[in-house]
Amino acid sequence: MTPFGRRLREMRAERGVSLKDMAEAIGVSSAYLSALEHGRRGRPTWLMIQRIIAYFNVIWDDAEELQRLAARSHPKVTIETAGLAAEATELANLLADEIADLSPEALRTLKAVILAATRRKP
């Protein structure tokens, strides 16, 4: 599941909306919406995000959060390390090899360390 898919599912659950009803309302198939929630589809298009924002009638902050989550929700990531330090290539490969075995707590810790090192917001 992607961060965007998790939030989408939470929003549907909070409002008591079925997958079928939402899919019909935004003009996609239930299968597509399910795949989007489960991370079996790439990140949603800008238009799809706008349809979802309109469907849920979310306010600015929530709309921006959905857009941010969508940007970080491509389930297959390629990391280009050509021209970077050897440590960058080693880290990218280590993460690729070990990510499936990391606990949710370890993932949150790594995310916090990276964000702190780059001084970015979560």
Q: What is the pLDDT of residue 121?
A: 63
What average pLDDT does this structure show over 5-30?
A: 94
pLDDT digits 0-9 by tens, 61-113: 889 999 999 988 887 888 999 999 999 999 999 999 999 999 999 999 999 99
Q: Tell which wins on pLDDT, 8 or 72.
A: 8
Q: Indicate if 17 and 62 belong to the same structural domain.
A: yes
Q: Is the pLDDT of residue 40 over 80?
A: yes
CATH number (domain holding residue 30): 1.10.260.40
Q: Which letter does DSSP use for residue 76 in this model?
A: S
Q: What residues have CB less than 8 Å from 74, skipping those under 6 apart?
A: 2, 42, 43
Q: Indicate if 66 and 106 belong to the same structural domain.
A: no
The rounded percent of the chain whose pLDDT value lies above 70 is 98
Residue 42's domain spans which residues?
3-71
Q: Is the pLDDT of residue 120 over 80?
A: no
Q: Indicate if 30 and 54 belong to the same structural domain.
A: yes
Task: Indicate whether this model's pTM tops 0.75.
Answer: no
Q: Indicate if 59 and 112 belong to the same structural domain.
A: no
Q: How many domains does the chain have?
A: 2
Q: What residues have CB less than 8 Å from 48, skipping those under 6 apart?
A: 26, 28, 36
Q: Indicate if 66 and 93 belong to the same structural domain.
A: no
